[in-house]
Every structure is written in C-alpha cells, then in structure tokens.
Amino acid sequence: MPWSPRATLLRDLVLGVLGTVAFLLDLGADLWAACQYVLSGRYLWAALVLALLALASVAMQLFSWVWLRADPVGLHGPQPPGRCLAMLHLLQLGYLYRCVQGLQQGLLAWRQEAPSEFDLAYADFLSLDISMLRLFETFLETTPQLTLVLAIVLQSGRAESYQWVGICTSFAGISWALLDYHRALRTCLPSKHLLGLGSSVIYFLWNLLLLWPRVLAVALFSAVFPRYVALHFLGLWLVLLLWVWLQGTDFMPDPGSEWLYRATVATILYFSWFNVAEGHTQGRATIHLGFLLSDSVLLVATGMTHSTWLPSGVPLQMWLPVAGVCFLLGLALRLAYYRWLHPRCHWEPDRVDGARSLLSPEGSQLPQNRRAARLAHSFFPKAKDAAASPVKGEVNGVL
C-alpha cells in the first residue's frame, strides 16, 4: 500500500536524522580508534586513519562547495554570506551544514498540511545532494577505513573493542549510504512506483555481499605486504581513472572539478561497481566484475602463499570460504536484480538528462537536481520503446 504524502515526508525526515547520526557515529569511532592507536604507540596506524579521514573530508567539502557555487542564484533562499559558507567548508563543516539545511526543509514541508510543490521539490533537491555526498564519503573514507582495520586485525591476530566498534559502524555506514543513494535516485524516476522496497533491499544486499570479499582480499594483501598495497591501489586507480575518462563523463560544472569527480569514481570502482555513462551498461559491468574478480583472486593467492607471516590465531580458513559464498550469493542477487527488478524508464524527451518535468500547473520554476538526474539517467536505462527518444536540454539547475 503506498504511503500518504505526510507519512512519506515523516519517513524521509526520520531517515535524514538517522543518516546524520550514523555519519557522526562513524566519525567518532574513527577518532576513537586513532586516539587508541596513539596511546598504544601505533603512530603509523593512527596517521593512516587520520589521513583517510582528512582526504575524504576535503574531497566532500570540495564537492559541496563547487555544487553550491554552480547552483542558480537565489535557489537556496536566505543563506549565510558567501564568506561564512566558505569558512564552514574550510572548517570541514559544509556537509553537516547541508544535513541541517535538509532537515530544516524536510521539517518545514512536513509541518504544512498541504506543502507547496516548491517546498517538496526543494526538499528533494537537498536530499539528493546529501545522498551523493554521503556515497562519495563512504567509498573515500569508510570503505578504506574498514579495509585498514581488517588489515590491522589480521596483522595483530586480535581485535580490540574499539576496532569492533569501527568495523560495525563502517558496515552500518556503507549499508546506509547504499540504501539512501538508491532511495534518493528514486525521486528522479518518471514513474516512482517502478522502484519498490524489494528492489532496494536486493540492491543493497548484492552490493554489500560483493563488497565484503573485495575488502577482505585487499585487507589480506595489505596485512602481508603493507609496503606494496599503495602501489597496487595506485596502479589500478590509474587504469580505472583512464576508463572513466574514456567514457566521457560530464557531471561537474567545469572541466577542473570534473577530474575530482573522475578520481572519486575511480576510487569507487576499485571496490565496487558504479555506472557513470549511458549505453552498454551490461558489457561495462561484466568487464569491471571480471577485472575485480581476477585482481581479488591474485591478491588472495599472493597473501595465502605468505600467510605464515601472520599470527596463528587468524581464522583465514574460515573467512575465505565465507567470502567466497558471499561473492556467489551476491552475484546471484545481482543477476536477479538486473533481470527482474531493475526498472526501465520512459524518460521524457526535452528534459535535462531525461529527468521528469517539475513544472507546476501555474508555470512556476521548481528546483531540479541536474546532477542526480544525470546519475539516475545512467542508473535506470530507457525502456526499449523510448530508447530512440532524444534527450536534450540546456537548463542547468532548474527546469
């Protein structure tokens, strides 16, 4: 049974609060782990944790700032002066500012008996930006942090309480980001009912089940060859960056920031699949899956040949078969998802990147998140009878 409009707004508001809390908990767990490493004299581990945290935070602030600068003038209504916004992002608070802004807009829309079309569209606009930033942060910081913690556990042969907290919060953060991103793209669909709860759950499960073996393979290699994992990452990352560039991405407002996006996507592709271009999705996804599978098998084989360097208490004989079962189950769910649950949409022509029109009957202009519309148009393919329809439009930010 479909949700009522007010119930949907309340659900989105609660999910927004939970997402912000999950982000803060993950941040707190990382800082707690770094402090424990310093107190125990593991300065290198503490430096790696803080370095990953800082790099991801800087990238997320850059995305947020560039998007704010590219949005149409007056779209966001009353805001702090430009210098204050710049200072917030310089202090690494831009993402939290967006979270507070999104929660305020969601609460404003929910408190109205009949919220206006603009308030609803603007709430969607803010939610989409927050979801994309959270997804980028997940693969720039949370997933590498999880890999690092697992590598440390493999090296030391035991897991401390703060490491278990870090592992749990990392899995929770990754799970939340995947679910929230899938839910957010739903708002860009021409027909929202095509994307249900079942497809979201299956989408989340196959991503998580395929991600876990990849993280374990990289963690095992990192534990055995800590000096070479950086070279491995850099080599694959350059190949993936070239692949993203060859697909001709056009996501950011200027060529300079587009390379930031490509570098981020290359990092995501190091761990998981992320579609950035239309057409031939199945072929690209198959190539990427085969590439990651071959690399993971090589990493595990190399690590196992030198597993005697690890403490005897590490249960690799149990972890690796479980990871193999997770991969096979995730692959089966992925095939089932794309075969029966992934919707094909009748994208409307003459709209920005195929996004649905948000023009109200009165003809007023409503916010349309062009960035998310691009990703949704790549994520959800056209139906066969709509594949020939051209998608054009020069409007940036609003329809």
Q: Two tokens at 373? A: 């519309």
pLDDT of residue 369: 82
Q: CA 92, CA 86: separation in Å to the nearest integer?
A: 10
pLDDT of residue 360: 36
pLDDT along the chain (399 residues), means of 10: 70 87 89 93 93 95 94 80 90 94 91 84 90 94 93 86 86 81 75 62 86 93 92 96 92 92 96 83 89 95 82 76 93 88 56 32 63 76 48 34
92: left (phi over 0), alpha (psi -120 to 50) or beta: left
pLDDT of residue 193: 47
* pTM summary value: 0.87
pLDDT digits (tens, 9 = 90+) for 109-164: 888 888 888 888 888 889 999 999 999 999 999 999 999 999 998 888 888 888 88
Q: Which residues touch 258 (CB under 8 Å, ≥6 apart)?
A: 249, 250, 251, 252
pLDDT of residue 139: 94
Task: Please report, for the chain, the start and end positions of each structural domain, with discontinuous segments joined by +.
Answer: 5-306+315-341
Counting Cα atoms < 13 Å in the Cβ hemisphere of 226 gives: 13
Backbone φ and ψ for 315, nearest 5 degrees, come out as: -85, 60
Q: Two tokens at 52? A: 């990953």
User: Does residue 25 contact residue 175 with C-beta atoms inside 8 Å?
Assistant: no
pLDDT of residue 314: 66
pLDDT digits (tens, 9 = 90+) for 209-262: 999 999 999 999 999 999 899 999 999 999 999 999 999 888 899 999 999 999
Secondary structure (3-state) at 150: helix
The mean of the pLDDT values for the chain is 82
pLDDT of residue 244: 95
Q: CA 156, CA 223: separation in Å to the nearest integer?
A: 9
